[in-house]
Structure 1
């Protein structure tokens, strides 16, 4: 290759490498990192007590002293949003964990065993998918009790069908791969093929779905808390903060602040999920 051709190729390579991390993806990772830090070390970002307020400071608008303003009891809204992050993130992780473990196991067994086992489990998954996820979550949390952890369990149950469907599809596709058939011909046991070949290859799509489901779980749990299916006050779940804020239309920041944080988090997770699918 000539020197001039090489010099023309270098900018293309640099642009290709830079395009791997678009600005929107970098911003999404930054938002997600901030939210995770809020959930792990909230006192690093605010020294205000989220449950105690100053009555004389009630309904103060956003300012340098109170970034998100104050509520009807004079409590700092930024502190309540930050301290409520742990509950929202933990609940979403629990929901995703239930969906991945239960749904993934159902899909793995259905796709790998096949036969009547596949037929029975596939019908079960069809029933779960036929029920709207939010409606199923409301039914489950109504049976378990009105707590945030129960809302997380309900959200996880509503996601089982989606994970099972994706896992089953990936297992069926992997079973027909040439390297799996070659492993069978070389005398590999079903357990060896399942653990070494089928599970690692089938789980990649499930993990990307888990990232997307994490954002959706935050949204569903916030919706359940908004309707009163989460922890009661003085908890500071994001959905509960929005629900309380709607009762004070003149203090619009009580709704806008937690709502914007929720939307920014969900959109960031969705953007990261789309980027992972494109780079896979």
Structure 2
């Protein structure tokens, strides 16, 4: 191959790599929304000067304005401030749920797929049982058993996600275990632990990242739904689901429902868009 042809091939390869990592406008917008939500959860005081707990009775049920972006509630509290301060609870709970699902489900899938045999059969039947129960119903059962608050709701949501991560990890481990480089490592005398940690786990876990991002959005929805039903922290907490639940009693003032609902929807849609982009760029 001539130098010109080699240089052209290298430029083409570099162009393809740049195209693969190019962020579409919708993905950039999704990242911006998630960055704003994370900033709300980390430093809510930087985004609002209103008190999320103590309101001004004279200002109750005011519509959205420059002074109160999302309006005020029945106690005169700024709704934007309550949404912003409720972000930390919603985001933290969703992260707890995802961590539980990834660690527990990933470990089950890793062990079942790598060892095979009766271990795989036992874990596969356990996963089938969990998958047979709807996620939200399983979350309600768990949170009812361990108690009503947002942390327990997060734990319940994480337990309901274990089966999904276990099945995906098991499938990826089985596929990776049959790869040529894994068989070559066995032939060269590699131990099970070396092959598991050095080859199988890094390659099998690549598909877990988009699923974890997707599960983060789903966890926000499940936790908000549990809070809406009263399984989360009681007032004056400002979880997004609780705000929607309180707002439904004041239908003449729709911003009480629309504001937290739109924030929840925008967050979940942004997470889903990022997850789809990650799957395409894997």
Q: Name the TM tier (shorter chain).
A: over 0.9
Query: What is the match of residue 181 of structure 1?
Result: 183
Deviations 1:76-134 (A, max 9, x none): 00000000000000000000000000000000000001100000000000000010000
Which residue number in structure 2 is paired with residue 205 of structure 1?
207
Instruction: Confirm whether residue 69 of structure 1 aligns to residue 71 of structure 2.
Output: yes
What residue is the counterpart of 2:219 in the other structure? 217
Rounded Cα–Cα distance in structure 2 between residues aligned with 1:19 and 1:159: 29
TM-score with structure 2 length normalisation?
A: 0.94
Give unpaired runs (5+ residues) of structure 2. Answer: none
Distance in structure 2 (CA, Å) of the matches to 1:31 and 1:135: 30
* RMSD across aligned positions (CA): 1.9
Return the alpha-carbon distance in structure 1 between the equivalents of residues 254 and 21 of structure 2: 39
Task: Say which SS state the counterpart of residue 237 (structure 2) adopts.
Answer: coil
1:59 equivalent to 2:56? Answer no
- Offset at residue 206 of structure 1 (A): 1.0
**1:262 corresponds to 2:264:** yes
Specify every segment of 5 or more residues in structure 1 that has no aligned partner in the other structure, as ranges: none
Match of 1:161 among 160, 163, 166: 163
Give the TM-score taking structure 1 as reference length.
0.95
- Following the alignment from structure 1 to structure 2, what is the Cα–Cα distance between the partners of residues 193 and 19? 30
Q: How many aligned residue pairs are there?
A: 274
CA contact (8 A) 2:21 2:281 kept: no
Partner of 1:86: 88
Q: Is the 8 A contact 2:93 2:154 kept in 1?
A: yes
- Whole-angstrom CA distance in 2 between matches of 1:212 and 1:84: 21
Q: What displacement does 1:19 show?
A: 7.8
1:120 aligns with 2:118: no
1:218-233 map, 5 Å: 218-233=220-235
Q: How far has the Cα of 1:20 moved from its partner?
A: 2.1
Q: Distance in 2 between matches of 1:74 and 1:48?
A: 11
8 Å CA contact 2:20, 2:281 repeated in 1: no
In structure 2, what is the Cα distance between the partners aligned to 1:179 and 1:94? 35
